[in-house]
Amino acid sequence: MRYASSGLLSTGSSAARARALELLAAHPGAEPKSFTFIPAKLEDNAILMVHGYTSSHHAAGKNAPGKEGRGVVPGAAGWFDKLIGPGKAIDTGKFFVIAVNALGSAHGSSGPNTIDPSTGKPYGPTFPHITLRDMVASQKLLVDSLGLKSLVAVVGPSMGGFQSFQWAASYPGFMKGIAASVTAPKAPSRLGGLEALQKRLASDPNWNGGWYYENGGIPKVLEEIRYDTLLNYGATEADARAAAKVWAKMYDGHSLVTLRRAIDSFDITHQYDRLKQAKVLYVNSKTDKLFDIALCPAYVSDMRKAGVDITYVELPSDKGHMASHQDAEMWAPILKAFIDKL
């Protein structure tokens, strides 16, 4: 398994930096250009950032002019840029911040577009089925390899929220807290069918039974899928179209299927007792079309009944599913207070 193309947004001492670079050298799937180092001291102060369904490890900051990175849109800031950095809610002057690309994604970790050593070609449609537990287990390997014995928190939006909840369920006591936004402890019913997604991908003339890598890929259908997704998230038509064009050139259709299948099977609602060792900050948007806000109070009530220390926040944002990053200022003080008290 290749290590994630993990963006270390802030690292600790020179020893920690050297260890991270040592890992990069040992695991060619992790690209040095995906790492940015901001001084901080590594002690017991690590925070793991986990991303959404179609996003990447690019959680904060911008690439320097002329520099590129997988999953990094040129000139664009990371998805939680308003929340991560010196003096921000997740203060890189205090915390060792690791942003990791999810297993199965198209942006550097082992995934369908990874070269299968037995064939010399991408795994494509033969890439194995994975679960959220597998994603988190791969991240635990990375964390262990960095020599970390614990985490302050795991933080992420949407599918990143799934991963945050899964971390608490899979490794109780390893992190002091989780902060999960625009998400739920189980997959929503509003996603639409996996079979419909597969059929839509296969409608591209370059599909070739799923072996489209040598045919120029399937950017046309990916752009339309992304455009529709962003509209559902709450983006304007103009913004959705512009973003979809860029994204379609970077992503892989099989990763959509791989991650979507993992999402569909996600449900920790019967494991709340395993969350009791971590404090939980659960943040949602009142206008999210993907996660039904009406269901959230019941999730919160059930977690509290199980003994989970949970803080629940509903953002009065008009940004829909994108509220936690586009209207980050609405909850940045809450996140900062939560993190600082862990």
Active site residues: 158, 288, 321
Tokens at residue 193, please?
A: 């069918």
Q: Report helix, strand or coil for 296.
A: helix
Kind of pairing between the strands at 310-315 and 279-285? parallel
Kind of pairing between the strands at 115-116 and 121-122? antiparallel
3-state SS of 216-242 is CCCHHHHHHHHHHHHHHHCCCHHHHHH
- Rounded Cα distance between 65 and 93, Å, is 24
Q: Is 241 exposed, middle or buried (0-12, 13-18, 19+ CB in 10 A)?
A: middle
Contact present, 303 and 339 (Cβ < 8 Å): no
Which uninterrupted H or E stretch holds 237? Answer: helix 237-248
- Rounded Cα distance between 171 and 138, Å, is 12
Write out the DSSP string of 267-286. B-TT-GGGGTTSEEEEEEET
Tokens at residue 320, please?
A: 């829909």
- Rounded Cα distance between 309 and 214, Å, is 51
Q: Is 60 exposed, middle or buried (0-12, 13-18, 19+ CB in 10 A)?
A: buried
CA 248, 161, 142 angle in degrees (round to 5)? 80
- Rounded Cα distance between 280 and 278, Å, is 6
